[in-house]
Amino acid sequence: MDTLISTLLSGVVLGALYALMASGLSLVWTTLGVFNFAHGALMTIGAFVAWTVSEAVGLGLPAGVVAGVASAALLGVVVEYLLIRPFYGRPNMLLITVMTTLAGMIILEKGAQMIWGARLKQLPRLIDGEVSIFGAVISAHEALIIVVAPLILLALWQFTTRTYLGRSLRAVGQNQDAAALLGINVSFTFALAFGLGAALAGLTGVLLGGIRFITPSLGAEPLVKAMIVVIFGGLGSLGATVGAAFVIGLAEAFLVLTLGLYWTPFALFLGLIAVLIFRPNGLFGRV
């Protein structure tokens, strides 16, 4: 019973992290139609900057969190400006940006290695202590992730459905010309989507940095998971992405329990392929 609950909990923690990560990826995809392969590297940079500000400089964790998220957001805007913007309107933009963002990922990862080195770093936990839920014990840091992630995603959802700026993101994603003719600054919207997506990646990095060791390739695995989540859920809708994130998180936790760490990625990809065969638009996508 305890194993079941603790597996369930670790699945929810994973789901919450994947949801944060994947919703940033999904936001960029729905607004610009670009799949950002540098998303994981932006997350890594966020974690490293948070570590530098909080641990190396010693300004404390709150300052580190803010700096980590802000630097990821800023870098996201730079990535958009340098690697995406020159190619808008090209008929093969999707393919070009696959290459440019892959290049961006490599540059950022290698850059992180040059700046911070390959030695493992770790952020302190956001809160100390442990929480007991139905007899299973998780760290308070993980419990915080379970609470914070849905709140952030709720705020993001409110932003995209209730505010002028948030709605303009969705409008630009659906019809760029029409959005421009209503007075929406399309270029700014692109930068905003990228910045917000990167901020979410940075936040994921900061949260993950308290659980795992921070290395230059910290973001590689979450990027793959986020891609599975976004495709699995059906490209384009925030709700579908979040739903899929928790499905994948829980599936992963139980697969690790039953099949072990080694076969879990294999099983996840098999599941993804199966879903795409029977529901080509994703699990929650419209057919």
Nearer to another protein, 90 or 110 (CB): 90
186 lines the binding site for another protein (CB under 8 A):
yes
Alpha-carbon gap, residue 199 to 170, rounded angstroms: 18
In angstroms, what CA-CA distances link 2 with 5, 12, 141, 153? 5, 15, 20, 29
85 lines the binding site for another protein (CB under 8 A):
no
Spatial contact of 112 and 44, defined as CB atoms under 8 Å apart: yes
Classify residue 170 as exposed, middle or buried by CB count within 10 Å of its CB (0-12, 13-18, 19+): middle
245: closest CA among 233, 235, 261?
233
Question: Among 34-42, 76-84, 105-113, 173-181, which window interacts with another protein (CB under 8 A)?
Answer: 173-181
158 lines the binding site for another protein (CB under 8 A):
no
63 lines the binding site for another protein (CB under 8 A):
no
Angle between helices 39-51 and 220-233 (to 10 degrees): 140
Classify residue 131 as exposed, middle or buried by CB count within 10 Å of its CB (0-12, 13-18, 19+): middle
And the tokens for 272? 């993804």
Nearer to another protein, 170 or 212 (CB): 170
Which DSSP letter does residue 131 get? E
Spatial contact of 19 and 246, defined as CB atoms under 8 Å apart: yes
Nearer to another protein, 3 or 92 (CB): 92
212 lines the binding site for another protein (CB under 8 A):
no
Spatial contact of 130 and 148, defined as CB atoms under 8 Å apart: no
Alpha-carbon gap, residue 228 to 223, rounded angstroms: 9
Nearest distance from C-beta of residue 240 to another protein, angstroms: 13
183 lines the binding site for another protein (CB under 8 A):
yes
Q: In the set 99, 103, 147, 174, which binds another protein (CB under 8 A)?
A: 174
Nearer to another protein, 110 or 286 (CB): 286
How many residues in the shown chain lie near another protein by CB under 8 A?
18
And the tokens for 270? 């098999």
Nearer to another protein, 164 or 262 (CB): 164
175 lines the binding site for another protein (CB under 8 A):
yes
Question: Among 91-99, 140-148, 168-176, 266-274, which window interacts with another protein (CB under 8 A)?
Answer: 168-176
Q: In the set 13, 152, 184, 206, which binds another protein (CB under 8 A)?
A: 184
171 lines the binding site for another protein (CB under 8 A):
yes
Nearest distance from C-beta of residue 176 to another protein, angstroms: 9
Nearer to another protein, 159 or 254 (CB): 159
Alpha-carbon gap, residue 62 to 50, rounded angstroms: 9
Q: In the set 93, 133, 140, 180, which binds another protein (CB under 8 A)?
A: 180
Contact set with another protein (CB under 8 A): 161, 164, 167-168, 170-171, 174-175, 177-186
